[in-house]
Chain A
Amino acid sequence: MQVSPQGGMERPSALHLFLIFARIGLTSFGGGLSGWLLREFVQDRAWMTEDEFLNGLSLSQALPGVNVKNMAIWIGYRLLGPPGAVAGLSGIILPPAIVIVALGVLFAWLARFPLTHLALDGAAAAAIGLSLVMGITAARRVRRGVVPLTVMAATFVTVGVLHWPLLWVVLAAGSFSVGVEYARLARR
């Protein structure tokens, strides 16, 4: 198993990896972390090739789990094996986790002012825009076929309108959809 960086590049220490992931975790707002990771590890440091990175990215998106956390484990593992995976995971999660609790406490204190509620309502409204753009981007990448579009619509209705439990919807729709794609690929 080749886990060291290629091309005679210096091998980062686990602490170094942790600090890089912590910095990215703490300076990225409103998503888009994958773009930062690409810039850091492929473009700036050349610790992995773009191909290796993109393999990890598609995997991180297709598999369950928060994308950027999956990506941090993938990159950490590729660069440094198990210690790298741990460094990536803890670096991308722990520092921002502390920040969000601090923010929650701060806003709970600010909650005595009516203005805080208005501001948070406005911020939440804009934040939904972030989600919507992500939804539109994802929908654009769905194959234009009867089955994928029906699966997408059925998932939307059962989860969003009918409020069915997500776990069962994903298991049912996911296995059906993956099965159909597998059969398509097999015919090709």
Chain B
Amino acid sequence: MPGTLLDLARVFAPLSLVTIGGGQAIVSDIQRQVVDVHHWLTEAQFMNDFAIARMAPGPSSLLVTLIGWQVAGFWGAVVATASIFGPTAFLIYGVAHLWMRYRGARWQEALERGLRSVAAGMILAAVYVLLGTLEGGWMARGITAVATVALMVTRVSPLLLLGCGAAGFVVLRGLGVG
């Protein structure tokens, strides 16, 4: 078990350092590590966890807390959480000092602009990987498309949206569509 805890830290701590542009960006790499490399979860289990993490309140990166719990119980959850949030917590803390001291410096603007394109590519890559893993064929992808449009043109609550996705899928399957 200590070996597993160490593995959890080794997987999630480096990922915490590349979480640029929000927790969504690392989802594809979490999936690769957890499912393909370490075989801690099956693809289906991972997708369930992903859905739960998006349904739950708080930062969606708590996905790793849930994975840690399933892989190694209480301490697994603690180690995974500390690994994903810890290293960058110190980083932002230190930078909060520097930011005040060198307000408006060129390197700040360059960092901000330069990382933007990388972050966008990462988030879209995560979407692509998740769509490939999604069960339920064209109907599930249809729900993704409808949800995307709904989010862009309305101010629908995300929780309500996920609830509708779940209910819609159950009803459509019940009717024998797809």
Contacts and interface: CB of A to CB of B under 8 A. Distances in A.
Interface string A141-185: 111000111011111110111010111001101100111111001
A161 B128 contact: yes
Interface of A: 1, 25-33, 55-56, 58-70, 73-74, 77-78, 85, 89, 92-93, 95-97, 99-101, 103-104, 107, 111, 115, 117-136, 138-139, 141-143, 147-149, 151-157, 159-161, 163, 165-167, 170-171, 173-174, 177-182, 185-186
Considering the complex of A and B, which 5 residue pairs feature the smallest CB-CB distances, nearest first?
A: A96-B58, A30-B158, A122-B169, A126-B165, A155-B121
B7 interface: no
A135 B117 CA distance: 11
Interface string B150-168: 1110000111011111111
Chain A interface, >50% SS class: helix
Nearest to A170: B18
A31 B93 CA distance: 22
9 contacts: A29-B159, A68-B59, A107-B52, A122-B167, A124-B165, A156-B121, A160-B124, A166-B18, A166-B122
Given A95-B58, A124-B51, A156-B125, A30 B159 contact: yes
Contact of A25 (B50, B57, B109): B57
A130 B18 contact: no
A121 B91 contact: no
Given A31-B158, A69-B85, A152-B121, A118 B169 contact: yes
B83 interface: no
Nearest to A129: B147
Contacts of A61: 20-22, 112, 119
Best-buried of B65, B93, B112, B118 by chain A (most CB within 10 Å): B118
B148 A133 contact: yes
B170 A122 contact: yes
Contacts of B69: 101, 104
Contacts of A99: 56-58
A160 B10 CA distance: 22
B93 A77 contact: yes
Interface residues of B, number: 108
Contacts of A78: 96
A174 B111 CA distance: 9
Interface string B116-152: 1111111111111111001110001101111110111
A126 B161 CA distance: 7
A120 B47 contact: yes
A127 B63 CA distance: 13
B148 A132 contact: yes
Nearest to B106: A185
Given A165-B29, A182-B107, 19 more contacts: A25-B57, A30-B60, A59-B99, A59-B112, A65-B16, A67-B21, A67-B23, A74-B92, A103-B52, A119-B170, A120-B48, A124-B47, A130-B161, A133-B151, A159-B121, A160-B128, A161-B128, A166-B26, A178-B115
Given A74-B96, A122-B136, A160-B128, A154 B121 contact: yes
B139 to A, nearest CB: 8
Given A65-B88, A122-B168, A139 B120 contact: yes
Nearest to A140: B120
A136 B85 CA distance: 25
